C-alpha cells in the first residue's frame, strides 16, 4: 500500500483516485491495460496478487477533515466574525442543505490569526464561528484589521488537531 499516493486528507491522489470515485461510472479499463505495470511489479517485488504486506498507517486519514467556506465578516462596531462550514465523514452520502453531522465530540476548533507570516492570536471555539473583537485587532495589529490570513482546524479530543484550511480577510 505504500506505493499508492495519498494526499494530506487520506484520500487517494493522482491516477489512483479514479478507483475511489463514486461517480466514475463510464470509466473503461481495457483488458491488459495494466499488464506491463504488473509485470514490472512482479519483477521488483517477487510477488503478485494475494501478497501479504505490512502497513503502518498514520493518523492522517482518521483526523478531522479541514473545514470549507471560510469567510470573515466585519460588523458595524468594527469586530470581525470568522465563519466556516465543517466537513464530516459521518453521513457522507447526505447531500442535503443542512450542516454536516458532528463527527468529533465535543466540537472544538482552533483558529490562528496570521499577519506577515507570524501568528498574532490563537482563538478556540466550540462552534463554526468565532469573533475577533476590535480591541483584540488593535492589540494585535496596532489598528483595525485591514487584512490578514487565518487558519482553522477542528481539534479531536482523542486525535488532536485535524487538517487545517486557510482563509483571507480583506478589510
C-alpha distance across the termini of the chain, in Å: 46
User: Alpha-carbon Rg of the chain, whole angstroms?
Assistant: 22
CATH of 61-170, one of 3.40.470.10, 1.20.1270.360, 2.60.40.10, 3.30.9.10: 2.60.40.10
Report the mean per-residue pLDDT for the chain. 80
- Read off the DSSP letter of residue 62: G
- Number of residues written out for the chain: 171
Per domain, the residue ranges of the chain are: 14-57, 61-170
Geometric angle at alpha carbon 115, from 64 and 148, rounded to 5°: 75
Q: Are 97 and 133 in contact (CB under 8 A)?
A: no
Q: Is 136 helix (H, G, I), strand (E, B) or coil?
A: helix
pLDDT tens digits for 83-110? 999 888 876 666 666 666 677 788 899 9
Q: Are 162 and 153 in contact (CB under 8 A)?
A: yes
CB atoms within 10 A of CB 96: 7
- Residue 21 has a pLDDT of 47
The pTM for the full model equals 0.64
149 CB-contact burial (10 Å; exposed 0-12 / middle 13-18 / buried 19+): middle
CB atoms within 10 A of CB 30: 6
pLDDT tens digits for 105-148? 888 999 999 999 999 999 999 999 999 999 999 999 999 999 99
Amino acid at each position: 500500500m505504500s506505493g499508492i499516493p495519498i494526499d494530506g486528507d487520506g484520500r487517494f491522489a493522482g491516477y489512483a483516485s479514479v478507483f475511489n470515485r463514486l461517480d466514475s461510472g463510464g470509466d473503461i479499463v481495457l483488458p491488459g491495460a495494466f499488464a506491463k505495470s504488473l509485470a514490472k511489479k512482479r519483477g521488483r517485488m517477487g510477488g503478485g496478487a494475494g501478497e501479504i504486506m505490512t502497513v503502518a498507517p498514520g493518523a492522517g486519514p482518521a483526523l478531522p477533515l479541514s473545514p470549507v467556506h471560510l469567510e470573515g465578516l466585519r460588523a458595524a462596531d468594527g469586530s470581525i466574525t470568522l465563519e466556516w462550514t465543517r466537513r464530516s465523514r459521518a453521513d457522507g452520502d447526505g447531500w442535503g442543505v443542512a450542516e454536516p453531522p458532528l463527527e468529533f465530540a465535543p466540537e472544538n476548533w482552533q483558529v490562528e490569526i496570521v499577519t506577515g507570516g507570524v501568528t498574532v492570536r490563537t482563538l478556540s471555539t466550540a462552534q463554526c464561528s468565532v469573533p475577533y473583537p476590535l480591541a483584540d485587532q488593535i492589540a494585535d495589529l496596532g489598528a483595525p484589521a485591514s487584512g490578514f490570513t487565518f487558519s482553522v482546524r477542528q481539534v479531536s479530543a482523542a486525535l488532536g488537531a485535524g487538517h487545517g484550511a486557510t482563509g483571507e480577510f480583506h478589510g
